[in-house]
Amino acid sequence: MKKRYEVDIDETWAIEELFESDEVFLDSLEELKKLSNDFANKYKSLNSTEEIFEALKAYGEIAALTDRLGTFASITTEVDTSDANVMKRFANFVNEMSKIDANLSFFESMLAKTDTSLLEEAKKNHSEYKYYLERVIANSKYLLSDESEKVLANLLPTFDAPYKSYSDIRYGDMDFEDFEYEGEKIVLNHNTFEEFLEADPRDDLRREAFDRYHKELGKYQNSDASVYINHVENEKRLADIRGYDSVFDYLLSRQDVDREIYENHINIIMDELAPHMRKYAKIIQKVYGLDEMTYADLKLSIDPEYEPEVSIKQARAYIVEGLSNLGEEYVNVLNRAFDERWIDYAQNIGKRTGAFATGPYGSHPFIMTTYNNKMSQVMTLAHELGHACQFYYSNNNQNALNNDMSMYFVEAPSTANEITMERFLLNKAKDDREKLWVLSTMISKTYYHNFVTHFIEAAFQREVYRKVEAGENLSTIDLNEIFKEKLEEFWGDSVKLVNGSELTWMRQPHYYMGLYSYTYSAGLTVGTVISDKIVNGSDKDRKNWIEVLKLGGSVSPIELANAAGVDMTTTKSISETIKFIGSLIDQIDELAKKLGMYK
């Protein structure tokens, strides 16, 4: 593992295109302060629709600059948590933003209290702000006095502190020891475990790595639990302060999603998906001839020796061809992402695990991943490019107050791309073995990660919030027991839970992002339907999808799904997606038998 300054610049993103230096960043931060002060001094009341319109435009300019500054400050910490200067810059930005937010906290309250007839007229005359104004009006009953809102805005760094503490523990304090396996030095850290060792076909090595990795996590479980419980209790306090019926209603209001939809997602997946995934676990057990199927074996590939090595250049060619149905303009955006260094592929010390994309308003998107030269990484890259292209279309077609789509829908563009790439590879498969590899990748890479891993997170998270809502005081033991119970409920007796399984809750940052985990099932449901339309539908279907991407956050997530042709108000689409997952597992079973892979 290299240090950040040692990696090839072509494997890093062109972050300097956001701000070329700290000096430019700090100058822009000063500009933001001035804009916010000028805004606060100018808009003390709103007496006409034109004043409302002008205020919204000015507020949008502030939001856009904030977005660029916040993105630069935050994502530079993700690629090198060991850089003290970067971490200090982010901390300084958070501190300054709390003051700016406090200075601007009056606006939405003032807007919500503006004469209703003026707001209705503004919605009619300036339809580009219609949904934004509707959300402000809907949330107005939860606003506090101007002074109280200012106090809460000043406290934002305190409310956001748990996520930083989680990251500091995970990437700063945890110190994994390398070990030897049959004379080979095994490097153990977050990246090597999650990218390689967790799926290593050598049983003894894989299980030893799992045990060592989780023993290190276990040393910090009390600290992690304290941080997470504090975060959840803070959210409960804020929900109560603002007058929401529950912490669930408070968090779901950010997504503009009803509680019933949220509950139905989790219930239907536990009931209908679990039997299919238990069958998949048994397939893995039979392929590897395992005496018992353990939790440490679930990430095994069905045919690991088959997966080809793929360079970044080759990955680009696959992705461009695989997504070419989406049209010339979409392909041009994909090519720009590669040519203009929107993507950070590097493996370096201090880089966080996983992958993400972000799309600051007024800039091109940025993607972080850790490329390991495996074909499965092509799907990860296609996934993040789905996010990036959605950011690109939204930013170029919406104002800064409407560009961000709801968290509920945000995984649809990414998973649609991922599944489209898998369908593309499936159609190109030359023989049964290649077909088996693609099918198993669809399950192990796409559906397992998004529909199983994140689902169990969501089920765990729901139980945690339920207990906090009921006034219970939680501990580390409670968190471990809750997660273990959800694993047992989902996997039944098909998978043995080994020591450390219960600590899986420590491995995801999603718990610090509201009710994020359950939304993966929504996004993947929409993505599954859209992928079918991209591959097998008409030009009209594909053009319609591009138009949906352009809508950004200008309509509700349920309306976005409807515009894409998917009704998410019922569980029908989720059930159909689960049946599709089951059909893929059935095909894997048939091909594994046909190829004589069962031991």
Does residue 95 lie within any of the structural domains?
A: yes
Domain that holds residue 513: 163-306+430-595
| Residue 542: strand, helix, or coil | helix
Indicate the pLDDT class of residue 121, thresholds 50, 70 and 90.
very high
Q: Residue 240 class from Cβ within 10 Å (0-12 exposed, 13-18 middle, 19+ buried)?
A: middle
Q: What pLDDT is stored for residue 574 in this prediction?
A: 96
CA atoms within a 13 Å half-sphere pointing along the CA-CB vector of 396: 14
**Three-state secondary-structure class, residue 368:** strand
- Cα gap 200→222, rounded to integer Å: 29
What pLDDT is recorded for position 158? 86
**Domain count for the chain:** 3
pLDDT tens-digit series, residues 13-36: 999 999 999 999 999 999 999 999
Residues 449 and 540 in one domain: yes
The mean per-residue pLDDT over the stretch 392-410 comes to 96
For 76-110, write each residue's pLDDT tens digit: 999 998 899 999 999 999 999 999 999 999 998 89
Same domain? 579 vs 534: yes
- pLDDT tens digits, residue range 439-471? 999 999 899 988 999 999 999 999 999 999 999
Neighbours of 243 (CB within 10 A): 12
CB contact at 8 A, 143 and 112: yes
Residue 468 lies in a domain: yes
Amino acid making up residue 427:
N
Residues 296 and 360 in one domain: no
Say what the pLDDT of residue 92 is.
Answer: 94
Asked if residue 440 and residue 300 are part of one domain, the reply reads yes
Beta strands in 4-147 (DSSP E): none
Residues 489, 578, single domain; the answer is: yes
Domain co-membership, 343 together with 219: no
Whether 261 shows a pLDDT value over 80: the answer reads yes
Three-state secondary structure call for residue 118: helix
- pLDDT above 90 for 218: yes
CA angle 517–521–525, rounded 5-degree value: 155
pLDDT tens column, 140-184: 899 999 899 889 888 888 888 999 899 999 988 999 999 999 999
pLDDT above 90 for 63: yes
The last residue of a domain, from among 80, 108, 143: 143
Residues with Cβ within 8 Å of residue 544, at least 6 apart in sequence:
563, 564, 565
Domain membership flag for residue 413: no
Please check whether residues 572 and 436 belong to one and the same domain. yes
Identify whether 155 is part of a domain.
Answer: no
- Distance CA(162)–CA(225), nearest Å, equals 10
d(CA 428, CA 306): 15
Reply yes or no on whether the pLDDT at 72 is more than 90: yes
Determine the longest span between alpha carbons in the chain, in angstroms: 77
pLDDT band at residue 1 using 50, 70 and 90 as cut-offs: confident
DSSP percent split of the chain into helix, strand, coil, nearest 5: 70, 5, 25
At 128 the pLDDT is 95
What burial letters (b/e) apply to 213-228, b meaning 16+ CB within 10 Å?
bbebbbebbebbbebb
From the list 404, 369, 408, the residue with the least C-alpha distance to 390 is 404
Same domain for 302 and 339, yes or no, is no
Same domain, 384 and 468: no
Q: How confident is the model at residue 372 (pLDDT cuts 50, 70, 90)?
A: confident
- pLDDT score for 160: 84
For residues 488 and 370, the model is more confident at: 488
472/545 same-domain check: yes
Contact 369, 381 (CB under 8 A): yes
The answer to whether 437 touches 302, Cβ cutoff 8 Å, is yes
> In the predicted model, what is the mean pLDDT of the chain?
95
Residue 185: exposed, middle, or buried by beta-carbon count in 10 A (0-12, 13-18, 19+)? exposed
Q: Residue 296 burial by CB count (10 A; 0-12/13-18/19+): exposed, middle or buried?
A: buried
pTM: 0.91
**CA 171 to chain CA mean position, Å:** 19
> Are the CB atoms for 401 and 132 separated by under 8 Å?
yes
130 in the same domain as 17: yes
In the prediction, which pLDDT does 374 show? 85
With respect to residue 56, please indicate whether it lies within any of the assigned structural domains: yes
- pLDDT for 445 equals 85
Asked if residue 513 and residue 586 are part of one domain, the reply reads yes
Q: Is residue 158 part of a domain?
A: no
